[in-house]
Each structure stands twice: as C-alpha cells, then as structure tokens.
Amino acid sequence: MINRSILYLMLVVFPNIYGQELNCEVSIITDAKLEVTTTEQEALKQLKEVIFDFMNTTQWTKDKFKIEERINCNLQIQINNIPSAGTFSGSLQVLSSRPAFNSSHNSLLFNFQDNDIQFAFSRNTALYYTQNSFRDNLSSILAFYAYFMIGMDYDSFSPNGGTPYFVEAQQIVVNAQTSGARGWKASESGKRNRFWLVDNVLQQLFQPLRDCNYNYHRKGMDQLYDDKDKGVKEIYKALIKLKPVVQTRPNTVNIINFVYCKTAELKSLLSDSDLKEKTDFVNLLKRLDPGNSSKFQAFLN
C-alpha cells in the first residue's frame, strides 16, 4: 500500500503515472455508541488509506488530467454497525465540485448520502476495479460513484460529455444486482439509490437536466467573472429547463439533488440582486423543489 505522503510526491514528480481524474479526500467515522475492537479500528484505519489509493490512483478514463484539472471530491463513510467480524454497514456521503472560471469558487455538483452501504474488509485487503465484472460490493460502490462524479463533471463542461461514464456506472449497477447487496435494484430505497441515480440521468426524459448542468456552469457560472448580470440570467434560464422534468416526474432524486447542491450558492449569488430577480428565482426553485420552499423563501430576507 502506498503511503499518502509518498503518493502526493509521486503525483507531483511523476504526473503521468496515474490517471489522476480524481482528487478525492476520504474520511471514516464510527457511531459513538458502536463498540469497535482494536483489530477493527486498525482495519478501518487501513481502509481509509486503501480507499484513498483506489479513488486517486485508478485510471478511470482514457483522458490525461493535469494536477490542477483533477475533480475535487470527498467521501465520508459512517460506520453504524459491524454485523460480523470483518463486515461493516452504514452510510456514505459523496460530494464533488468543479471550479468556476477565473474564480476561487467551487460549484457543488453532487452531494448524495447513500444509506445502503455494507461491505467486507480485513487488513491487507486490496481494492481493484475490473470492468464488466463484480468483484466485491465495496469496490463496486466506489467505482460507481467515481464514474457518476466524472459524468457529472464532464456534462458540466460539454453537452452530454458525461455519457460514457454514466454508461459505465450503469453497467456496474447491472453487474452488482446479482450480488444480493442493497442499493443496486429499482425496488429498493424508495427510488433514491444507485440504480435510479444513473437510470434517470440516461433516460431521454432527463435530457433537460443534463442541458441544465451544462448551461448552468458553462454559460452561467463560468461567465460571472466577465459579466455577472448576464451569467445570473443564464443560470435562471438553465434552471427553467428543469420544469418539464418536474412536471412529469416530481421529486426525483436527480432533480432534488441538483437543486440541493445549488441552494447555498444561489443564495450567495443573489445577495445583491434586486427584489424582482430574487423573487423570480425563489418562485422557480419552489416549483422545482416544493419540499424546501422555506429555504428558498429565505433568499428574500
């Protein structure tokens, strides 16, 4: 296993060794009430390093990334239960962002909590991703989110640029469905799981969401430096594209997640806008995500 400090050095000195698509931070926390043995504590400490290496050194695409081009993301695993020796269950929080042009601001692209996490891991176990096959649940979950985050990132830079990576994520779902592990099937978790995340995004019905992702970032966020007023208007036009999806499939996980990611960003962005512009955004956001109307109403305060 590569020590993290050595890995950072190798990424800097030998930038072409690894695919380097992801700049992924990893944290593992355990429920305060959970009794964890010394052996399990050591396994979880090693697991953190193994996941870090897996996410950051696997070559996920054929493209070459410069260090500064890597996709910033974060994985936080919450261990809530240890059903048996070497088996862990809990949740996984996945976040990814992309930079706005000529700005230090990072725009949140994906922020999702997966509550169907269960896997086996013991010390000195390595993780590998093998295309078109299921090796184990943990590597499949991690690979799924790696490809989904890459798909979201590519879609934000070019129209439908993320399609190959969403297709790969969907294939991971198909391969994992026979494992019996949760989170891979349509009937589980009330349509808020891995199956629906990628199945939705590849349906033609959700094409407006992918168009919104691109227009929101390339025509909106990336233009704020040169012309903020124009950029804000383009962001509004991008969000309008979501209306037909919401009318046909309200409260779908992809739409709710996208709007959730943008709520704090939009509130800050609109802080110096006039009342009409704020009101237009608030009314639109309430239609897209009625369950969070009170949060959008706070834009007007």
**Which residues touch 130 (CB under 8 Å, ≥6 apart)?**
none
Query: What's the confidence (pLDDT) of residue 19?
Result: 52
Burial category of 190 from C-beta neighbours within 10 Å (exposed 0-12, middle 13-18, buried 19 and up): exposed
Query: What's the confidence (pLDDT) of residue 20?
Result: 82
Q: Which candidate, 300, 235, 291, 237, places its Cα nearest to that of 267?
A: 300
**Distance between CA atoms of 147 and 262, rounded to whole angstroms?**
21
Q: Report residues of the chain scoring pLDDT below 70.
A: 1-19
Query: What's the confidence (pLDDT) of residue 15?
Result: 44
Which tens digits make up the pLDDT trace of 207-226? 999 999 999 999 999 999 99
Distances (CA, A) of 259 to 5, 73, 80, 255: 37, 18, 28, 6
Average pLDDT, the chain: 93
**Which residues touch 213 (CB under 8 Å, ≥6 apart)?**
109, 152, 155, 156, 258
Residue 124, both tokens: 């000195």
Whether the CB-CB separation of 147 and 169 falls below 8 Å is answered with yes
Sign of the torsion angle spanned by Cα atoms 83, 189, 283, 225? positive
